[in-house]
A and B are shown apart, each in its own frame.
Chain A
């Protein structure tokens, strides 16, 4: 399975690098489907608002909101899967870019270019070796786990949608089942969202792996010292936020499961309301932390690119650029 996932992101080195791989169109297409589902959910929520304004039935309002919640979370997960597809496209292109640099750099390398090793780089500290750097454990994990996380996350969101529909059907007739199903829907769907975002984080880490290994391969093929940027602080922060986000995703699911054990009574309704009031923002915090982690991974990609262009320039001009 790992080999199959690798093939999705790392094309054969002799493949035609000029072709349009279709990832961009597919990713955007999935994104538009997500937006349409989101619009349907928004219409349902507005309908619920109109129903409230007209003094309509509470059951109808509850049903509309339950289905809208499930659909909206599905829409967000669909949009994120679209982002995942585009990131796979970036990975494929990244490897072709590495092949292009490998093929072209010997022809434009300056005499002695890249042989002098500076002490510093504008992007941060680096290591020097003779060969491509060893793969980091987090990169090994990321390239194996991004696809299972995306798939598992999306499945949880779909299962949560089913729970939301079950909840909607029972609003007004069986309050206990309705509350239980609503709790399961919220808990499962947001754990699913957390997994999808973790999958995206792993894809970004796989992009960082490609930049690291590819950069090493290019320098090794040229026979110059292999300079590799040390892991920036932003990458470490990204990992910490991602782990915190996923853990919080699990905690909020446990919280919602706890709510399903509450008895059905007027007193208990207040208790359920209080728990929901805390769990809603908690599940949002889980996603917020994962998104913050994604910011740091993207920032790391920016820093690594800055380092790589600096290194390529030092090979092309034989200028170490240490002070630049």
Chain B
């Protein structure tokens, strides 16, 4: 088996990292920090809410319930984004590193084009991010509405359930996106195992 069975691009110079891979290298750290901040705010608000329930202040508790979910799921959206960006960074290392080794050996540089799993990874990640962040925004507005004394629309009891469904589905889609991202690494490793043997021939 040779690299001809893969969808590749041949150049004389090592390729640069793709835009999502460059973004991954730069953004995984800020997303990681944002996740920790989201979780920290969420847990503090949760204890304040617990105290509000003990004190019988149920309006505040209902509003805080929305704020806790917003903070925790901002944390989850950020941590999943950080994971996705870290995977993109790994793919970038494979792309650039593989290219430079080929170039250094004096060979033409054969690079794997972005596999379908890589495209699915990006698409699903964006979809999941929008779903979770959308739910987080609605949670914040719902909390504010409850503090204003509203009981209908986004401040209603049923809205909590709808938002929960959206959040949970968003997390599941994110996990599937991550599976696609990791599956892309399998493809890249398979390609590189074959390509490096080609260099020696």
Contacts and interface: CB of A to CB of B under 8 A. Distances in A.
Interface of A: 17-18, 20-21, 23-24, 27-28, 31-32, 34-35, 38-39, 41-43, 45-46, 48-50, 52-53, 65, 72, 75-76, 79-80, 82-83, 86-87, 89-90, 93-94, 96-97, 99-101, 103-108, 270-271, 273-275, 277-278, 280-282, 284-285, 288-289, 291-292, 294-296, 298-299, 301-302, 305-306, 308-310, 312-313, 316-317, 319
A49 B182 contact: no
Contact of B68 (A83, A86, A281, A309): A281
Given A104-B199, A288-B72, A292-B36, A48 B183 contact: no
Given A24-B183, A42-B165, A313 B101 contact: yes
Given A285-B42, A296-B32, 4 more contacts: A18-B194, A103-B200, A270-B54, A295-B35
A185 B56 CA distance: 26
Contact of A35 (B45, B50, B159, B173): B173
Contact of A42 (B46, B160, B168): B168
B72 A305 contact: no
Given A86-B186, A270-B56, A295-B79, A103 B168 contact: no
A301 B90 contact: yes
Contact of B169 (A23, A27, A38): A38
> For chain B, which range describes its interface: under 10, 10 to 19, 20 to 34, or 35 or more residues?
35 or more
Contact of B79 (A275, A292, A316): A292
A288 B175 contact: no
B83 A273 contact: no
Contacts of B199: 104, 107-108
A299 B39 contact: no
B171 A76 contact: yes
Contacts of B100: 309, 313
B166 to A, nearest CB: 8
B90 A28 contact: no
B104 interface: yes
A278 B180 contact: no
